[in-house]
Structure 1
Amino acid sequence: MTAIQPPFLTNLEPLQKTLTPELGLVCITADKQVRFRTMTRTRYLQLSREKQESGLREIYQHNLQRLFTALDFCQENQIRLYRMSSGLFPLSDMEDNIGADILEEMSADLGKIGEKAEKLQIRMVLHPDQYVVLSSDSADVVQTSIKILERHARTMDLLGLPRSPWSLMNIHGGKSQRLEQLVRVICELPPAIKSRLTFENDEYAYSGSEILAVCEATGVPMVFDAHHHICHENLDSYDDPSVAAMFYAARETWENPDWQLVHISNGETAFRDRKHSDMITAMPDVYHQAPWIEVEAKQKEVAIAHLRSWWLIENNHK
């Protein structure tokens, strides 16, 4: 499968010139409308094979229906960006292949998600969990990380989502001071992964400039996170000149700059608090030029509505 551009974005002027930024919902809603079921590995291993299969099948069918509900919710609330949960289909990467086989059997139903997303013009993305560490000094950890990404990539294929940064899989750099290995591993990834892969700067291991260097060396887009940046650099404002500089530098890593995605969160108890707050009350001024923004706030859709009530109004006056 080659990288494709969603048909509803062809022949458009650059989004940032014609539209206000699109604010994205992360995984679930603050209310109970969008929720997903799971099963722990410990519980799974206690079950007979028959119950493992029936249990996973029931959860997968439930979560798939909830995914349809999430798209409906986004449509109703005029949200065009949705981050899927990395645990949408739990235990599908087990070596027994039970979960993976169930997903293959459900392929016809899974494929309807991509069709619905395209019809509703909703962009769907994924953020694999923290256990994906391509820069680990353990070969086993790297191989396990690649297997996790392969499973996510296959699931996205089954969901009918394109192999391009439009339907990105975003991860962190992982273990610090391993830039050369990280670049080498990325370059060797299979197309189903690399075609969707993006990297995000973090608060601890990889600064914005370090992740930028990785992205430039590998041709992988950079997802700039302004809050991670101010925490890592010990800054006092989202409008520090380095924030805008990193935003523009990250944009250059996107072959299609209209697809550039950034993250925003605020500190819970202080400006540089790494824990996320309920709402977003401070935004980088440069984010008025961001086409797509994932809102990483605890109050989810409530935080999006709040941003629309003040920040997007400011944007419209610029």
Structure 2
Amino acid sequence: MSDPLKLGFPVKVLGDPSLKSNDARRSQSNPHLRVSLGYLADIFDYLVRHDIRMYRMSSDLAPYATHPDMPQFHSMVRDSATDLGALGKRARELGLRLSFHPSQFIVLNSPDPDLVRKSVWDLTSQAEMLDHMELGPEAVLVVHVGGVYGEKDGARQRWIETWKTLPEPVRRRLVLENDDLRFSCADVLHISEHTGVRLIFDHQHFWCLNPEGLPLRDTLIRMLETWPADQRPKIHFSSPRTEFRQQTRKNSRTGKAEVVSVAPIWTGHADFVQPFEFIGFLRQAEGLDFDVMLEAKAKDLALIRLRSDLQHYAPDIAARFGLSAALGGEAETSSLEARVQLSA
């Protein structure tokens, strides 16, 4: 039997608001990757306490390391090689699956060569960190295709052409995700066929953007198969927001600002994961092997709540994540939520 599937969350820890995800000081205070690694070590302790074995690190872990006007920070990653190696060793011992999801400013298909060059620099820096940590090939850099720039076919082709020029460490770590507005699963499958890049299936994005009408399970299988047999793929899962959003708008009649309620947009992520939606998806994915990064606004609280929900409503799915029906997830969720409420 394969190892249990992993659930993960990104960056910010809400169950312990004292934990920082990176050194966020301004450049005048000389922030450093070594400080961020100290914060990350504390987050590892938290993950172990709550038996969470998958985590997305902050893309700002090495502050200003690729800022073009601040060369004093450019050697930060290289200078921290020993510290990165020590923390990577601990991550491997703990069985933690780590990743980066660089910001939306990382664009590999831009017609602007300077933006592409800067994006590659950022990716190279993050790949270098993962390499210094000596993490396996499942520690990845997740990116989107980028912009359409008026012509989707040309935009896809530029991504393919840029791939050919990427440094080896970046190509080895890079994975491509379908998005919710521009590039569908069909688009990223096309790119993968011409590059070999591994793909991330994003469940919410699939439902937001699937003009080709691809079937869910078949598409999921095709995207999982872009990963080598000896690597476990991962996917992204989130639920859409359903509640009213509050917005401040100018009243055209009075000229005054007023708060109004507007309907949700389905690309928005909910605070928690809708458990029945997740259960239904996992049952459609019966027999398939992948880890799940949860992109819920409540971060670790959403993960812990989902584990409790699975134990209660779907023990068969809970078992796939190594959960039994007697782990006391509801008590853990209530305890964490109370701590967050007290610190607010």
Q: TM-score range by the shorter chain?
A: 0.7 to 0.9
Q: State the number of aligned residues.
A: 284
Matched, 1:56 2:31: yes
In the TM superposition, what whole-angstrom CA distance separates every residue of 1:163-203 from its partner, at most 9, and x where no partner exists? x2x11101000012111111111122111100001000001
SS of corresponding position for 1:160: coil
Give the Cα–Cα distance (whole angstroms) in 2 for the partners of residues 142 and 273 of structure 1.
Answer: 30
Change (3 A) 1:234 1:277: farther
Aligned mate of 2:208, from 210, 222, 231: 231
Aligned mate of 2:177, from 171, 192, 200: 200
Give the Cα–Cα distance (whole angstroms) in 1 for the partners of residues 202 and 173 of structure 2.
Answer: 18
SS of corresponding position for 1:18: coil
SS of corresponding position for 2:9: strand
Give the Cα–Cα distance (whole angstroms) in 2 for the partners of residues 182 and 234 of structure 1.
Answer: 21
Change (3 A) 1:102 1:257: closer
Give the TM-score normalised by structure 1.
0.82
SS of corresponding position for 2:271: coil
Change (3 A) 1:112 1:188: same
Counterpart contact for 1:135–1:181, Cα < 8 Å: yes
Question: 1:275: how far off?
Answer: 1.3
In the TM superposition, what whole-angstrom CA distance separates every residue of 1:274-318 from its partner, at most 9, and x where no partner exists? 111111012213345342000111111111112212336241579
SS of corresponding position for 1:262: strand
Question: 1:161: how far off?
Answer: 2.6
Structure 1 equivalent of residue 251 of structure 2: none
Give the Cα–Cα distance (whole angstroms) in 2 for the partners of residues 116 and 317 of structure 1.
Answer: 27
In the TM superposition, what whole-angstrom CA distance separates every residue of 1:196-229 from its partner, at most 9, and x where no partner exists? 0100000111000110111121111100001001
Aligned residue identity for 1:212? L
Counterpart contact for 1:112–1:160, Cα < 8 Å: no
Give the Cα–Cα distance (whole angstroms) in 2 for the partners of residues 72 and 310 of structure 1.
Answer: 24
Give the Cα–Cα distance (whole angstroms) in 2 for the partners of residues 317 and 153 of structure 1.
Answer: 34
Aligned mate of 2:168, from 175, 191, 199: 191
The list of structure 1 runs, each at least 4 consecutive aligned residues, that deviate by more than 4 angstroms after superposition, is 37-40
SS of corresponding position for 2:209: helix
Structure 1 equivalent of residue 303 of structure 2: 304
Aligned mate of 1:92, from 52, 65, 68: 65
Structure 2 equivalent of residue 30 of structure 1: 14
- Of structures 1 and 2, the larger Rg is shown by 2
Moved more, 302-311 or 126-135: 302-311
Aligned mate of 1:146, from 108, 120, 134: 120
Aligned residue identity for 2:13? T
Question: 1:272: how far off?
Answer: 6.3
Moved more, 255-264 or 28-37: 28-37
SS of corresponding position for 2:34: helix
Question: 1:102: how far off?
Answer: 3.2
Counterpart contact for 1:21–1:293, Cα < 8 Å: yes
Structure 2 equivalent of residue 170 of structure 1: 142
Higher helix content, 1 or 2: 1
Structure 1: gaps spanning 5 or more residues: 1-16
SS of corresponding position for 1:133: coil
Question: 1:26: how far off?
Answer: 1.0
Counterpart contact for 2:34–2:83, Cα < 8 Å: no
Query: In the TM superposition, what are the counterparts of 1:12-27 in structure 2 within 5 Å?
Result: 17-27=1-11
Give the Cα–Cα distance (whole angstroms) in 1 for the partners of residues 216 and 270 of structure 2.
Answer: 20
Question: 1:150: how far off?
Answer: 1.2
Matched, 1:112 2:86: yes
Matched, 1:315 2:292: no
Aligned mate of 2:273, from 280, 290, 297: 280
SS of corresponding position for 1:188: coil
In the TM superposition, what whole-angstrom CA distance separates every residue of 1:29-62 from its partner, at most 9, and x where no partner exists? 113143234447xx53xx4xxx5xxx223xx333
> How much is the aligned-residue C-alpha RMSD, in angstroms?
2.4
Matched, 1:269 2:242: yes
Aligned residue identity for 1:27? V
Change (3 A) 1:133 1:241: closer
Moved more, 216-225 or 256-265: 256-265
Change (3 A) 1:196 1:150: same
Structure 1 equivalent of residue 106 of structure 2: 132
Structure 1 equivalent of residue 252 of structure 2: none
Aligned residue identity for 1:174? G
